[in-house]
Amino acid sequence: MQSTGLALVLHHTQPPGTTAADLRRAFERCYLPMIGALEDCPSITASVHWSGPLLEWMEREAPEALASVLAMVATGRIEVLGGLFGAALLPGVPERDAIGQLSVQQRWWRAHDDVRPRGAWLPYCAWDPSAVRILAGRGLQYTVLEQHQMGSGVVADGWHLTEREGVPLGLFVADSRLAAMVPEATPTRILHAIHTRATEGVRCLTLAIAVESFGAALDRSATACFGGRGGWVHRLFRVLDANQHWLKLVTLGTAYDRMRPTGRIYPPASVTLPVAIHAMGGRQGSRFITLLNELREGEHSGVASFIRAPAWDATLATHPEVNRLHKRMLRASSEVQRLRGAIREGKGAEDPRMQSLEEATLALYRGQTGMAYVHGVDVGAQDAEVRAEAWRNVLTAERLASAALGEVGRLRAEVIDADLDGRPEHVVRTPHWQAVVAPGLGGSLVELCVWKLPGNLLDVRSRSEEPEHAQLPALALTDYPATEQADEDPTAEFEPPLVPSRELPDLPTVRIAEDGLADQVTIDRYVRSSFLDRFLAPEATLKTLRAASHVEAGDFITGEYSLVQQELTDVAAAWTLARDGVMSEGPALKLIRIQKRFGWLRDKPALDVRYELDNRMHDPVHARFGVELNLGIGGLRGPEFGVEVVRRRKTRTFGLDEEVDLSSVSEIVWFDKRRGFRLRISVEQEAHLWAWPVETISRTPRGVGRAFQGTCVVLWWPVEFQAQEKRQFELGLTLETM
């Protein structure tokens, strides 16, 4: 058997907004031990990528570790892979930002011992054919994709050549089944799998590993992986070292120089398999997993390689919270570009706004982090804190650009298709916040972004079906990770097994963080936003609304509203929306017209919402009319966060994880002491209040579990009005700093 090459790729990325304490903890448990393991094993070579924010942190907080990295780079022990500075998804950002992020990362490395990366790591292997031109245009020669992205007939062997408009780029094929065994299987089992591929004639394998999987978040995982010489990583390195007589460790650059391309391919837009499965949506993703397993295990297993998952863009169609953030990021990018253009037309590099441009650009790049735009991974857009940090950076970039352009003090109002769903939204911008009203989504308020925080106060993810839900009934609570027992002697002479070792599938592995999750799965019937109008059936209760088991008595919550009137002056803006709908009262249907007016002031962080309900029938109407708000910014809970409820001049405080069922409520205050704000919700007529925590059943670092998204608040009133009678209600929102 001829010798086989192994290109080991180690990529490091931390979620945006990781606190200083958590980042240091992850560094000490995972990143630093990996650097130490590489230093302890001089025969191990690898290609390594660090995201830009992590590099900056190392330079500031751990310069000795960075010096060790640079020393290994200087001796050729490790090869640095460049990439997008903010760990962005290349297909998800404007081309100008992708080029800018690549340039920032390259400049950072050149400023440190003149390191010049030849290859790039793409987060989640998010690929688009335009990447050829973008990467090659920055002098990069190769990147890494997974085998399923390459299409049928492409084996994970060496690198393949692709091109765009005559510009070439090398594509290394990462073996996703091999990566799925890390760190689940023993190093010897992984060596068996490599040997099997070698006997099949594979010249060079690429094994790409997320270093976070070695314990950045989990105590037990870190101990198992870096527990001295008996730790999983050291054992793997010793096994690889002991078998270099037939298994040669190489960097991607070495393989690129010494090997000719295996073939020429033209892969379509794609992303890693777990992310692609979630992009389909819960039900379709679950069916895709079942179909793929059946095909792979059936007599026509070869057909499986022709089944393709969708590209990352499909996420924008199935996850509204991601699409909303993405479109806001694109608008912020346009604002930063507008500032860049103004500087070019002015004094250029001598323009005093250059500092603002640099700060806005870096904030934008951080807000483009891929983690906030993907599902199917343990830390992704299902994590409210990850989304909140992306919102914070995107809004910071937009605000810095607007300030530099001298537009901060203005009141602006416009009608645009903000989320690109083919229906217009109404956007108002004041010196205090920006709001978006969507007539097509129940005439609701879908964004309320506060500049001072900064953040979106309405960033609450709907409880949607996820591919993992179908597997929950069959799962039992297990520890994570379930690594196998240590090899008896990692350095013993390797003998190929008589029976090929079982490999783990490359489909997402599902573990649960708590028992009983299958009974807690709840699916919302609408997209969560605020000032959603609903008529509550007589049997509706807080419990039935929370469980989404109620019957909606009206057709307003998902209905489309029409613009009736628009008011705009230098100091105030208002939109009046209306809908003629129906409400069921027993077996009878009643015609109701709801008209609501959203009003903003330029000089005050306040929103006034006035309702008018009109009975269009010649008979009396008896109903319960409710207004729903969904409030969330970061998914944090604890004593610093809560809700104050004023009832009959007495105030009670509730935690964000509590249910609230109170009558005669005149005011609600949603507070966040950590960020220092209070959102006061006042009602002109005392209302009944139902409030509860919104939780999804999603992937977390410890397995599938409950993920807090925000707080649902429903204010409702009994309504009795005669034929042709009208009733009015008024609510106010005021933002206060603490």
- pTM score, whole prediction: 0.94
Please identify, among 199, 232, 262, the residue that sits at the C-terminal boundary of a domain.
262
Name, in order, each residue with C-beta under 8 angstroms of 224's C-beta and a sequence gap of 6 or more: 183, 215, 231, 232, 481, 483
Per-residue pLDDT at 331: 97
Per-residue pLDDT at 1: 55
Name, in order, each residue with C-beta under 8 angstroms of 129's C-beta and a sequence gap of 6 or more: 164, 266, 267, 268, 269
Per-residue pLDDT at 14: 79
**Which positions of the chain have pLDDT values less than 70?**
1, 16-17, 216-223, 301, 348, 478-505
> Is 725 domain-assigned?
yes
> Is 534 domain-assigned?
yes
> Is 573 domain-assigned?
yes
Please identify, among 262, 286, 311, the residue that sits at the C-terminal boundary of a domain.
262
> Is 654 domain-assigned?
yes
- Report the relative pairing of strands 142-146 and 167-174 from DSSP bridges: parallel
Q: What is the token pair recorded at 152? A: 């049928």
pLDDT tens for each residue of 600-611? 999 999 999 999
> Is 498 domain-assigned?
no
Per-residue pLDDT at 482: 46
Q: Which of 733, 732, 721, 646 is nearest to 689 (CA)?
A: 646
CATH number, position 650:
2.70.98.10
Per-residue pLDDT at 23: 84
pLDDT tens for each residue of 232-247? 999 999 999 999 999 9
Using only the alpha carbons of the chain, give its radius of gyration. Answer: 28
Per-residue pLDDT at 497: 57
> Is 278 domain-assigned?
no
> Is 322 domain-assigned?
no
Please identify, among 227, 245, 262, the residue that sits at the C-terminal boundary of a domain.
262
Per-residue pLDDT at 375: 94
Rounded Cα–Cα distance for residues 642 and 92 (Å): 35
> Is 632 domain-assigned?
yes
Q: Which of 625, 628, 599 is nearest to 613 (CA)?
A: 625
Measured CA to CA in angstroms, residue 432 lies from 398, 597, 601 at distances of: 13, 20, 10
Total domains in the fold of the chain? 2
Q: Which domain holds residue 619?
A: 517-737
CATH number, position 255:
3.20.110.20
